[in-house]
Structure 1
Amino acid sequence: MPQEPNTDAKPAPEEDGAFLHTCMYFTTNRLSRAITRLADEAFAMTGLAPAYGYLVRLVIAHPGITQKELSEKLYITPSTLTRFIDKLAGKQLVERKVQGKTVLVYPTDKGIAMKESLLEASKKLKASYEALLGKELADVLTRQQESASEQIER
């Protein structure tokens, strides 16, 4: 006579995916997708994706910033930054000026005019995640992620 399966036995972690919840890679990407949704909602009013909005904010704050400095500050590759700048230049929000071998990026008047809406979008994003997590946890997570990123990149 066949034995009935033991319904009290817990499935192995591989079977139920429990290992995903203890994996920094998986949990970080899950958080990234969630915060990206919040950021997309907050920045929708600007007509720019959040990454573009932060790039424009940096250029407004540092007119004449080099492409190299921008890619370092935004933690993106130079080729990705070039595509971002191409898109923003097409929207007439930033412009490039070549100085020798160095490419400098400046905000246009149209870009500068977006300053307040970009600041508002950033504040809206922060308020959204603070409302969901609480200010203290949001601040702790931000500091811990910054610290962990720095340690891993060394």
Structure 2
Amino acid sequence: MSMESNPAEDRSTGPDDAFLHNCMYFTANRLSRAITRMADEAFATTGLTPAYGYLIRLVVGKPGITQKELSEKLYITPSTLTRFIDKLEGKRLVERKVQGKTVLVYPTGQGIELVPALRQASKKLKEAYVAVLGEDMAEKLTLDLETTSERLER
């Protein structure tokens, strides 16, 4: 009797990579890398990463927003948000003001002036992925990803 393994029975150790294409973890990370590349390209002209750009837009949209609210809206940890704000304060795009135990974040004049370029970068990003996926698929995928994220976070 042969001791060789049958690749059809054990795909995880064989040369067949089909398991990767049926794995949400793998495909979500692949999608994340692809959309991150597109976003980085779209935001390159602003001198900021997409995450910093969206943070500034939130702060401009609600001056005096709390750090807690920002971390919840951006789905990032408070420590990550603190690093982001530190960086943006260094660039003089936002400023913190302490009110009791609460830290409020405000845009600076420079931050406000950057908003049209940030909106344009967001528009450019959407145009890029809509050009590849089509309007219907892009909208459906965005909605499906939002719904899926909400369910998995529970």
TM-score normalised per structure 2? 0.92
Residue in structure 1 matched with residue 4 of structure 2 by the alignment: none
Q: Does 1:135 align with 2:140?
A: no
Question: Letter of the aligned partner of 2:56 in structure 1?
Answer: V
Task: Give the whole-Å Cα distance in 2 for the aligned partners of 1:151 and 1:11.
Answer: 33
Task: Give the whole-Å Cα distance in 2 for the aligned partners of 1:43 and 1:144.
Answer: 24
Which deviations, in whole Å up to 9, do the C-alpha atoms of 1:64-123 show, x marking residues without a partner? 000000000000000000000000000000000000000000000000000100000000
Residue in structure 2 matched with residue 3 of structure 1 by the alignment: none
Q: Does 1:30 align with 2:30?
A: yes
Which deviations, in whole Å up to 9, do the C-alpha atoms of 1:25-67 show, x marking residues without a partner? 0000000000000000000000000000000010010100000
Residue in structure 1 matched with residue 20 of structure 2 by the alignment: 20
Residue in structure 2 matched with residue 92 of structure 1 by the alignment: 92
Question: Letter of the aligned partner of 2:57 in structure 1?
Answer: R
Structure 1: gaps spanning 5 or more residues: 1-8
TM-score normalised per structure 1? 0.92
SS of alignment partner, residue 60 of structure 2: helix
Task: Give the whole-Å Cα distance in 2 for the aligned partners of 1:110 and 1:84.
Answer: 16
Shift in Å at residue 11 of structure 1?
Answer: 9.1
Q: Does 1:153 align with 2:124?
A: no
Shift in Å at residue 17 of structure 1?
Answer: 1.5
Question: Letter of the aligned partner of 1:131 in structure 2?
Answer: A
Q: Percent of aligned positions with the same letter in both sequences?
A: 70
Change (3 A) 1:87 1:23: same
Shift in Å at residue 13 of structure 1?
Answer: 3.0
SS of alignment partner, residue 104 of structure 1: strand
Task: Give the whole-Å Cα distance in 1 for the aligned partners of 2:97 and 2:76.
Answer: 21
Structure 2: gaps spanning 5 or more residues: 1-6
Q: Does 1:61 align with 2:30?
A: no
